[in-house]
């Protein structure tokens, strides 16, 4: 009896050790999406009154957890009864990621003309400010839902050949790490300038260490957000290319003489711009029909 009891503990320990190892691998696979998720949410969580940044971020974080509560059961059901659907979803997700990366590159070189609406906070009521805030939170949660689907599917794709219980443990751990990690870092980023401002106010000397560090943090915030955006774009394309190479058999030998990271980037970029071209043509044709009618 005792030996059987300890054998059970040994099996559980071995399972958890395997889960931890695969969780690390799955987290690395989803790093590209996490980078984009981090950049997007850092951008969406800024621009609010200082006192509202953390409450807004907490609302988005709760929405992210709710998103994953919806996505995870559906993903596990697909894995149990239609594994091919997970691979299909993974490839379609790769197409979307490649398109998103290519679109961001296109918009960098061919920027859209956005109409900027200036809001005078002195004349805007508190209800109107809260309404705008809720709208931004909903937008952030919707974006998080799309990225969460990709995170879960990519993580699930790394353990698709394992038992269902193993899949549930690994993917759930990755989902939790993704949410806590991303929004924890975003919280630090959005408060960077406020912390810097407090350091500046601590010292009355012009060249004190506190003032230098404080000014650095204040000036670094926009640079950090822009840098994350660039890193996120590159990561999106790399992740998409890797998905295509590993899940589409006839692409296994695509440019195999090149380093894998360069091959993945080229393939992701090609697919992304191909989809972008199709989308642009569709919009052009649809817009022409609307005008003619």
CA atoms of 63 and 59, how far apart (whole Å) = 6
Q: In the chain, where does DSSP find H-type helix? A: 2-29, 31-44, 50-81, 83-109, 126-157, 164-190, 192-202, 209-247, 260-292
CA atoms of 84 and 270, how far apart (whole Å) = 25
pTM for this structure?
Answer: 0.69
Given a contact cutoff of 8 angstroms between Cβ atoms, the answer to whether 223 and 39 are in contact is no
Confidence at 36, pLDDT banded by 50, 70, 90:
low
The pLDDT, as a whole number, for residue 11 is: 43
- Which residues, 6+ apart, have CB-to-CB distance to 180 below 8 Å? none
How high is the mean pLDDT of the chain? 76
The pLDDT, as a whole number, for residue 119 is: 45
- Which residues, 6+ apart, have CB-to-CB distance to 186 below 8 Å? 38, 41, 42, 45, 57
The pLDDT, as a whole number, for residue 145 is: 83
Token pair, residue 65, equals 């957890």
pLDDT digits (tens, 9 = 90+) for 183-230: 888 888 877 878 888 888 877 776 778 888 888 888 887 888 778 778
- Which residues, 6+ apart, have CB-to-CB distance to 218 below 8 Å? 192, 193, 196, 197, 200
Given a contact cutoff of 8 angstroms between Cβ atoms, the answer to whether 41 and 60 are in contact is yes
The pLDDT, as a whole number, for residue 123 is: 53
**Residue 157 neighbours by CB distance under 10 Å:** 23
For residue 267, pLDDT beyond 90: yes
Helices 126-157 + 2-29 axis angle, to 10 = 120
Phi-psi region of 47 (alpha: psi -120 to 50; beta: other; left: phi over 0): left
Confidence at 270, pLDDT banded by 50, 70, 90:
very high
The pLDDT, as a whole number, for residue 277 is: 94
Confidence at 15, pLDDT banded by 50, 70, 90:
very low
More confident of the two residues 11 and 137 = 137
- The residue among 149, 150, 167 whose CA lies nearest residue 158 is 167
**Residue 251 neighbours by CB distance under 10 Å:** 17
Query: Which of 1-15, 29-43, 155-169, 263-277 is predicted with the least confidence, judged by mean pLDDT?
Result: 1-15
The pLDDT, as a whole number, for residue 48 is: 63
Interval 122-144 mean pLDDT = 73
The pLDDT, as a whole number, for residue 66 is: 92
Query: How many residues are there in the chain?
Result: 293
């Amino acid at each position: 009896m005792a030996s059987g009891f300890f054998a059970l503990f040994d099996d559980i320990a071995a399972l958890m050790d395997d889960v931890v190892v695969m969780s690390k691998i799955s987290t690395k696979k989803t790093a590209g999406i996490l980078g984009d998720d981090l950049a997007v949410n850092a951008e969406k969580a800024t621009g609010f009154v200082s006192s509202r940044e953390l409450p807004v971020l907490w609302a988005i974080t709760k929405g992210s957890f709710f998103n994953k509560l919806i996505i995870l059961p559906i993903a596990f059901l697909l894995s149990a009864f239609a594994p091919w659907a997970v691979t299909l979803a993974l490839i379609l997700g790769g197409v979307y990621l490649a398109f998103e990366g290519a679109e961001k590159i296109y918009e960098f070189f061919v920027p859209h003309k956005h109409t900027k609406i200036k809001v005078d906070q002195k004349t805007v009521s508190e209800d109107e400010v809260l309404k705008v805030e809720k709208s931004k939170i909903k937008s952030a949660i919707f974006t998080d839902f799309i990225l969460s689907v990709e995170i879960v599917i990519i993580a699930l794709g790394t353990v698709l050949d394992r038992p269902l219980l193993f899949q549930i443990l690994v993917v759930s751990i990755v989902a939790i790490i993704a949410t806590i990690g991303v929004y924890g870092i975003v919280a630090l980023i959005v408060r960077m300038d406020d912390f810097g401002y407090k350091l500046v106010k601590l010292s009355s000397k012009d060249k004190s260490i506190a003032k230098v560090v404080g000014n650095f943090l204040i000036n670094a915030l926009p640079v950090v957000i822009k840098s994350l955006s660039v890193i996120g774009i590159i990561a999106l394309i790399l992740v998409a290319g890797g998905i295509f190479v590993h899940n589409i058999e006839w692409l296994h030998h695509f440019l195999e003489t090149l380093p894998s990271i360069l091959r993945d980037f080229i393939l992701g970029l090609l697919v992304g711009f191909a989809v972008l071209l199709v989308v642009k043509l569709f919009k052009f044709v649809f817009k022409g029909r609307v005008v003619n009618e």
